[in-house]
Amino acid sequence: MKWTKKVKRSITLIEIMIVMFLITVIGGVVAVNVRGSMEKGKAFSTFEGIEKVKSSLLLAIAENPDVIDDLEKNWPDVLAQSPLIRNADKMQKDAWGERFEVTVEDSDHGAIITVSSARFTAYKKKNKGSFVDNESSET
């Protein structure tokens, strides 16, 4: 019977470096995809926030038409009194943490309330076609 010597096979430094490189590349691809999804999620959340703020303000005006006189300045207070809003401080900001802008314009058919977000508008301009909404949310 012949005795053979077993040869130990170990991992070389180059093999380890190749594996680390592949993990880094895959991680980079995943990070880019997640970032895009996060931005889209923020845009959707902001869109829903705009709709909710606008609905709450319209409800407050329907209950008390005098509210509209100084709505641009006092909209956070009106929002805080709304039964539709649980956390008024959180609803005053978009998903990026910036405060909504509320404007009131007079027209022949009454007042037009506009709730907008600068970051949401910039997102829509940058990503045309990736976020479809009806333009009535900000007009």
Residue 109 in any domain: the answer is: yes
Q: Say how many Å lie between the first and final Cα of the chain, rounded.
A: 91
Residue 67 in any domain: the answer is: yes
Residue 82 to residue 37: CA distance in whole angstroms: 32
Domain around 36: 13-137
Task: Specify the 3-state DSSP secondary structure of 78.
Answer: helix
Residue 1 in any domain: the answer is: no
Residues lower than pLDDT 70 in the chain: 1, 129-139
Residue 128 in any domain: the answer is: yes
Residue 6 in any domain: the answer is: no
pLDDT score of 137? 41
Task: Specify the 3-state DSSP secondary structure of 98.
Answer: coil
Strands (E), the chain: 101-107, 110-116
Residue 83 in any domain: the answer is: yes
Dig out the tokens for 59 from the structure.
């409800």
N residues, the chain = 139
pLDDT score of 38? 85
pLDDT score of 133? 55
Residue 68 in any domain: the answer is: yes
What contacts 42, CB < 8 A, 6 or more positions away? Answer: 94, 95, 96, 119, 123
Helix, strand, coil % in the chain, rounded to nearest 5:
60, 10, 30
pTM equals: 0.69
Count of structural domains within the chain: 1
Residue 2 in any domain: the answer is: no
